[in-house]
Amino acid sequence: FVLPRARLPSLRFLLRPGVLLRSMSTSSSSSTFKFAACQLMVGSDKDANIQTARKAVEHAAQGGAQMVALPECWNCPYSSSSFPTYAETVPDGPSTKALANLAATLKIYLIGGSIPERDGDKLYNTSVVFDPKGDIIAKHRKLHLFDIDVPGKITFKESDTLSAGTTPTVFDTAYGRMGLGICYDMRFPELALMYAKRGARFLCYPGAFNMTTGPAHWELLQRGRAVDNQVYVATISPARNPDSTYTAWGHSSIISPWGEVVATTDHAEGIVYADIDMSRVEEMRTNIPVYKQKRTDLYNVEDLTS
């Protein structure tokens, strides 16, 4: 069914008309929770971006979300020239402090999208996760840097300014174990499989696909990672800013272990809500038991970091 537009005129962050919630759960067990993806309009004013995120997270919590996620590069424009200017230390920078305070005040899990992090003479594309006390429970530095060249369409090279992370990231919540990646990380099925083998039942990818890769691959990759590993997959994009030098595709989404698009939206700013039932992961794996049928005598993905 189609969820109607929220009527909160004092806030800019309204659920987009047309957001689909095809799979809802009414159970209150610890395996179920409400997830919110905040698709934010990002500009060049860092302080304004932080306030935009704060209002969106507050609105999502008011909407009943127990876990809220922000997009990739939510506090700055997505460009190699911007990363050094907007970079800050973690956890002492203003963006991280603001999110820690929000998580503690609202008593929610908060997946902090990503921001450019400065650590010594290196910069990283970094996501920080907070528990309902405001404590950091995970920090993920983007493992696979977005270096592509599609002739006549898009060329981008994160490695001009950013360094790659070295540690895959899983974290535990009251609802189960989760895996974290950033944007281009989603293109690598081995990482998602490793997360699933570590016990993750929900994979989250803040990401900013563009107008070339977005229409072609955004939903396809999400559904592929979900079906391959029989897990939930959530993606959180910035809203499309026509004044930006890099135009995001938008369409933040949540995918079920069956590969269904549980919830999605268009390119404009808004909040996407979905009720998650983690028991569906085990149901899927019982019905189609590929994990018991893998031919590990013939092939395997080895976890070199555990």
Residue type at 234 in one-letter notation: A
> Which residue, among 45, 39, 2, 32, has the nearest Cα to 20 in the 3D structure?
2
Which is the catalytic residue, given 34, 38, 46, 72? 72
Known catalytic residue at 73: no
Q: Is 105 exposed, middle or buried (0-12, 13-18, 19+ CB in 10 A)?
A: middle
DSSP H/E element including 129: strand 122-130
Which is the catalytic residue, given 117, 183, 204, 269? 183
Residue type at 101 in one-letter notation: N
Quote the distance between the C-alpha of residue 170 and its chain's center: 13
Which is the catalytic residue, given 76, 142, 158, 204? 142
Report d(CA 91, CA 137) in Å as an integer: 12
Report d(CA 274, CA 7) in Å as an integer: 18
Q: Measuring CA to CA, how many Å separate 159 from each of 66, 169, 241, 297?
A: 35, 21, 24, 37
Known catalytic residue at 183: yes
Known catalytic residue at 34: no
Q: Measuring CA to CA, how many Å separate 155 from each of 136, 149, 186, 205, 207?
A: 34, 4, 19, 22, 17
DSSP of 135-198: -EEEEEE-SS--EEEETTTEEEEGGGT-------EEEEETTEEEEE--GGGGG-HHHHHHHHHT
Q: Which residues are part of the catalytic machinery? A: 72, 142, 183
